[in-house]
Chains A and B, each alone.
Chain A
Amino acid sequence: MSYGQKVDIIDIDYSWSFINYARATDGVYFITLFKSVIISLITTFLCLLIAIPVAFYISFSSVRVKSILLVSILLPLWTNLLIRTYSLIALLRTKGHINNALENLWESANYLLSFFRLANHNFIGESFTPLSLMHNNFSVIFGLIYIYVPFMIIPIYLVLEKIDRNILEASYDLGANHKITFFKIIMPNISVGITSGIILVFIPCLGSFIIPELLGGADSQMIGNIIERQFKSANDWPFGSALSFILIYITIIILGVRYVYSKLYSRLYQRGVS
């Protein structure tokens, strides 16, 4: 269908033309695609930064704390994605919980200052201006991280659990400090978890449309939103499918690169060029 062309409201001419793909590379679509990739990359990277310490903390906790933490990470996944995204709106909007909390903070700070007769020096501004946390790139990335971070934590946690604790002790015993142990011993052993985490986060991020739709503004549309619009409001299914296929190709390329990389890595090892 992606090689066809829309002729009228319900008819599609299967003409085997590449016109839809050509259209996808021009101007606005290409920029959106590029921006989606960038947003997904940032999200994935931040997820990684959050997930590694969290996974470590869970993995080194006692059995009871461990199960509580794991459940609290998995529990949100049982809630519908839409509901979770709407709950973020309640948190982030102009009169949302974060801004309310900040406002309370401002009020009490102001009260304290007036107590010391400093209020009219305007140290903290004349009045509280709420932060605009919604309908921008920040809110989209925040939402994506909130939704997808468990998919990063879980694989990293799982490989961490499999590491024999004795090898960490062996590393200290052989003279390595914590930093060397982390980079030379732990990281190579959890790299499998990290790559699966990256794939599990990056690919759904790239295709997500509910989160940018609800949390993003006009400026923070992702490729998923455009695809959705082609199928629904624009009624241009051939172009929508072309865009979808581009997304699939990107995904396949990423998976392919990973496969080649892991093959190459293990072959290098066998030759002893480690």
Chain B
Amino acid sequence: MTEKKTTIELKKLNKKFGDIIAVNDVSLKISENDFFTILGPSGCGKSTILRLIAGLEVQDSGAVIINNKDSSFVQANERPVNMVFQSYALFPHLSVRDNIEFGLKLKKISNIDIKIRVEEILELVKMNGYDFKLPSELSGGQKQRVALARAIVNKPKIVLLDEPLSALDANLRMEMQQELVNIQRNLKMTFMLVTHDQDEALSISSKIAIMENGKIIETNTATNMYEYPSKKFSAEFLGRINIIEGASSLIDNRMLFNSDTFGKINLERDIKLPKDGVLGIRPEKIIIETGLNKHKNRVSMNGTITNWTYYGDVSYITIELKNKSKVYINVQNIHRNSLQELNIGKKLFASFDINDLIILEK
């Protein structure tokens, strides 16, 4: 596999606001055509990274390299990047067309070319016919489209999206997520998104970086980030997970894990658990059984349901084992009738495959 071209490289980036460290020694590489997402709780400094790339903030130390060119001290208006702001930041006195044209007009592009490109983009974001509307006459989703059009019309090296969908309602958000992905694939552009919404990050990105307190915890592809996270924080932040504490030992090159929750687990893996490492199992990997499953690859349990939350398509169940530890299970509502069996206080059997266990570092 050939290495993809790096569009953005951040080298040991640091930024402080007063006493607060917003960005702490962040190094990142974003390849061409990536849909790169920084996921983190609010206030973790993820927006600051975008603003540093856009040049709207100046780093305390470190470097921002855009297209192999050190752009750390290039002014915002001279960087080949464009941003979609959380508040959309459309120019309120300009029509949709004028908003989109704004960047192009500053670039000495002929009027005919501007017209052609604006038409194309309006078509792409499905806003043709709205040319002369003012931003105040548009709905939230439409503003969002215009803000996106205004950024991508300039063909930037990277489009920076600062929680662009957070102000939209759930259905519209899903629709826009899909459209963002389509647009990104059609135009073969590099997108960088910042969000605190895990579902959004999983469903649209090709790569995810998880951030906490100004530090990047882990970077991985979207599926690997969910299925094979390596840090406890990222496993817990992206989706739900049962953390299994305990101690491990290596016997005949096989890991034996002595867990507090499930007793001894024989992991068919020849690696040792890292120092203060834990195991994790995703709730949907645990399935409800009719009896105790004795298969050697499966870990079985029985317990009492203490909590049941119904989400329509799935139910989140908490069961309490004999040793008082709690296990979360996600159950697909495959049959309407099976709902009645999931009452609080009812006893049930469940098991999971040891291959689904995730080894996590703290």
Contact = CB atoms under 8 A, between A and B. Distances in A.
A180 B106 CA distance: 9
A27 interface: no
A91 to B, nearest CB: 41
A17 to B, nearest CB: 50
Interface in B210-245: none
Contacts of A176: 77, 102, 106
Nearest to A189: B93
A272 B78 CA distance: 30
B56 A174 contact: no
A269 B131 CA distance: 11
Contact of A269 (B78, B81, B86, B134): B134
29 contacts: A164-B87, A166-B85, A166-B86, A166-B87, A166-B89, A167-B89, A167-B90, A169-B54, A170-B83, A170-B85, A170-B91, A171-B91, A172-B75, A172-B77, A173-B54, A173-B81, A173-B82, A173-B83, A174-B106, A174-B150, A175-B78, A175-B107, A175-B154, A176-B77, A176-B102, A269-B132, A270-B132, A271-B132, A274-B94
A126 to B, nearest CB: 54
B77 A177 contact: yes
Contacts of B98: 274
A174 B154 contact: yes
Nearest to A167: B89
Given A174-B106, A176-B77, 13 more contacts: A166-B87, A166-B89, A167-B91, A167-B92, A170-B150, A172-B77, A174-B77, A174-B154, A175-B154, A177-B77, A189-B93, A272-B95, A274-B95
Contacts of A177: 75, 77
Contact of A175 (B86, B87, B103): B103
A189 B92 CA distance: 8
Given A172-B76, A173-B54, A173-B76, A272 B87 contact: no
A98 B106 CA distance: 48
Interface in A242-271: 269-271
Interface string B85-127: 1110111111101100011001100000000000000000000
Contacts of B56: 169, 172-173
**Chain B interface: which size bin?**
20 to 34
Contacts of B94: 188, 274
Contacts of B97: 272
Contacts of B77: 172-177
A27 to B, nearest CB: 46
A169 B131 CA distance: 23
Given A164-B89, A176-B77, A272-B131, A171 B95 contact: no
Given A164-B89, A166-B85, A169-B56, A174 B132 contact: no
A19 interface: no
Interface of B: 54-56, 75-78, 81-83, 85-87, 89-95, 97-98, 102-103, 106-107, 131-132, 134, 150, 154
Contacts of B132: 269-272, 274
A185 interface: yes
Contact of A174 (B82, B86, B93, B134): B82
A272 B134 CA distance: 10
A192 to B, nearest CB: 10
Contacts of B134: 269
Contacts of A167: 89-92
Nearest to B103: A174
Nearest to B76: A172
Interface in A75-108: none
Contacts of A185: 91
B95 A269 contact: yes
Nearest to A165: B89
A49 B344 CA distance: 73
Contacts of A170: 83, 85, 89-91, 150
Interface in A168-217: 169-177, 180, 184-185, 188-189
Nearest to A178: B77
Contacts of A164: 87, 89, 92
Contacts of B54: 169, 173
Contacts of B86: 166
A274 B103 CA distance: 17
Contacts of A171: 91, 102
A102 B83 CA distance: 54
Interface in A7-36: none
Contacts of A189: 92-93
